[in-house]
Amino acid sequence: MEGNLKQALCAWQNILGLKHVITDEASLKTTQTATFLTTQRSLAIIQPGDRTEVQQCLKIANQYQIPIYPISTGKNWGYGSSVPVQDSCVIMSLARLNRIVDYDEKLAYVTVEPGVTQRQLFEYLQSQKSNLWMSVTGSTPDSSLIGNILERGLGEGLYGDRFNYVCSLEVVLPTGECIHTGFGRFAEARAVRVNRWGVGPYVDGLFTQSNLGVVTQMTLWLTPIPRYFQLFWYAIDEDTRLEELVDAVRYLKLQGLIPSAFVINNDIRMLSYQQQYPWQEAEGAMPLPLNLSQD
């Protein structure tokens, strides 16, 4: 492995330049730390700048048999951050692929690369004076759209089940070959950004929660800003009423009266939305002492 790694690093440096093949300990440490204890080490971080470089990098990884762990922005907090799932991987950071490739106000879609963040898309829609809304998650504005969707993340709004509202993936396979899903494989197809199925087997799901390929583009559907919108919070004081709440929500959901995502959080999850871990009040203790979560 060591000899192979050296040769692979050299080959990646030739393509990406020294600056984008990172091996210093301090940087590697940031990909070895999560919100829970992990032991996996990463060997290097490579930062391709476009799809062709992703293809070249994967070909090299394949040639020298080096496992690659791709991250979009690496903010998978609570689920492993940017720590690879197995030991001795090279991290492929896709943050430099951060273009908004296509946008159509009338057909309500946007096509993005993996480095595009929630904040970037929000600011882009504002700059376009768009009448469209994106579904957002409760994570940081600097988290990616594609990484979250590939994890089958949950957002707010009508398209909160985010993977349900995307199509036309561009994926680089471990061999370096690039494929386009749906109608994307037909050069002249005009429904690429609005039709999920294309013809033949539907394969998009293969690339979620799998790392079977590196997704370099995805089209996300957007919703028109409603004429009236009301956000509400609710709380139940007693745990014993939870069952009743779930029954009521199920009824409303099945009647189609709650088309958006509906979330039931416990107190600890609500706290994590609102503030940093209260180290001082908890006097350094972990997990959160019960009396603090109840305050």
Binding site residues, ligand FAD, CB under 6 A: 69-78, 82, 94, 114, 137-139, 143-144, 146-148, 150-151, 153-154, 211, 214-215, 272-273
> What backbone phi and psi angles, to 5 degrees, belong to 155?
-120, -170
| 114 versus 157: smaller Cβ distance to ligand FAD | 114
Q: What are phi and psi of 54, to 5 degrees?
A: -60, -45
Residue nearer to ligand FAD on the CB measure, 131 or 265: 265
Nearest distance from C-beta of residue 250 to ligand FAD, angstroms: 21
What residue spans of the chain are helical by DSSP H?
2-16, 25-30, 51-64, 118-127, 146-150, 242-254, 267-274, 290-294
Helices (H), 41-166: 51-64, 118-127, 146-150
- Encoded tokens for 173: 């396979």
Q: How far is the CB of 244 from ligand FAD (least distance, A)?
A: 25
Whether 226 contacts 161, CB under 8 Å: no
Question: Shortest Cβ distance from residue 236 to ligand FAD (Å)?
Answer: 21
The nearest distance, CB 156 to ligand FAD, in angstroms, is: 8
| Interstrand relation of 89-93 and 223-224 (parallel, antiparallel or unpaired) | unpaired
Closer to ligand FAD by CB, 14 or 33: give it. Answer: 33
Tell the smallest beta-carbon distance from residue 166 to ligand FAD (Å).
12
Kindly tell me which of 109 and 163 has the beta carbon lying closer to ligand FAD.
Answer: 163
Residue (57 or 214) nearer to ligand FAD, CB: 214
